[in-house]
Amino acid sequence: MYEMKNKKILQLVVAGVLCAVGLVIPMFMPKIVLGPMSFTLASHVAIFLAMFISPAVAVAVCIGTTLGFFLTTPLIIALRAASHIVFAIIGALLIKKIPSIIEKPASSMVFNGGLALVHAACEVAVVSPFFMAGYMFKPEQLETGYLMSVLVLVGGGTLLHSLIDYTIAAVLWKPLRVAMPDVAQLRE
């Protein structure tokens, strides 16, 4: 009983720290702005690290960071953040079921690609109604059309951004799990 209570407390603390990291990174990391999209380097790293730990931590970090975005950013950005729960849950459950999926380079690359596709599809699904309604898009962005503004910039940009952030998280995860074995064991 005592061990389970400690595990829950550790999950809560780790989720809180990763939420803080997920909210602080966009404040300090470089941004690339292309039309209707902005990409902040490493902005998904906290979510990927949470996903590597456990489904519960992944969900908590997605909810925590989304709440932060709802308080500090335009609606479309906050909703894009909310969509992260989809790829985070899928990824965390797959890792729980097949832990080796992130251990071997080939399977990790395929896993990363699949998650990036889900991530991009979710963000396109969030942004599409805003585009169709002409809401929160500048006239010149609407003129470039759905293909360029939403599918290429949002979908393709998110795909690339997700691939990069996952890779950063995977590189960080290796030394973190050695330095903090209790956190790495939360997955079990």
What are the pLDDT digits (tens) for 2-28?
477 788 899 999 999 999 999 999 889
Whole-angstrom distance, CA of residue 42 vs CA of residue 122:
19
List, as own/partner pairs, every contact residues 22-29 make where C-beta atoms lie below 8 angstroms and the sequence separation is at least 24, other chains included: 22/46, 22/47, 22/61, 22/64, 22/65, 22/68, 23/64, 23/65, 23/68
Beta bridge partners of 176: none
φ and ψ at residue 41, rounded to 5 degrees: -55, 130
**pLDDT computed for residue 134 by the predictor:** 79
- More confident position, 139 or 61: 61
**pLDDT computed for residue 2 by the predictor:** 46
**pLDDT computed for residue 38 by the predictor:** 76
List, as own/partner pairs, every contact residues 181-186 make where C-beta atoms lie below 8 angstroms and the sequence separation is at least 24, other chains included: 182/10, 183/10, 183/14, 183/53, 184/53, 186/7, 186/10, 186/11, 186/14, 186/53, 186/54, 186/57
Hey, what's the torsion of the CAs at 20, 160, 40, 132, to 10 degrees? -100
Q: Both tokens of residue 16?
A: 């809180």
**pLDDT computed for residue 186 by the predictor:** 82
What are the pLDDT digits (tens) for 154-181?
999 999 999 999 999 999 999 999 998 8
Q: Both tokens of residue 116?
A: 């990036």
| pLDDT(46) > 60 | yes
What are the pLDDT digits (tens) for 69-113?
899 888 888 999 999 999 999 999 999 999 999 999 999 999 999
Whole-angstrom distance, CA of residue 69 vs CA of residue 84:
12
List the CATH code of the domain at 2-187. Answer: 1.10.1760.20
What would the mean pLDDT of 44-69 be, rounded to a whole number?
A: 96
SS3 readout for 12-36: HHHHHHHHHHHHHHHHHCCEEEECC
**pLDDT computed for residue 36 by the predictor:** 63
| pLDDT(137) > 80 | no
Burial class (CB within 10 angstroms; exposed 0-12, middle 13-18, buried 19+) of 2: exposed
Whole-angstrom distance, CA of residue 147 vs CA of residue 52:
33
Enumerate the domain spans of the chain. Answer: 2-187
Q: Are 187 and 95 in contact (CB under 8 A)?
A: yes
**pLDDT computed for residue 1 by the predictor:** 44
**pLDDT computed for residue 184 by the predictor:** 79
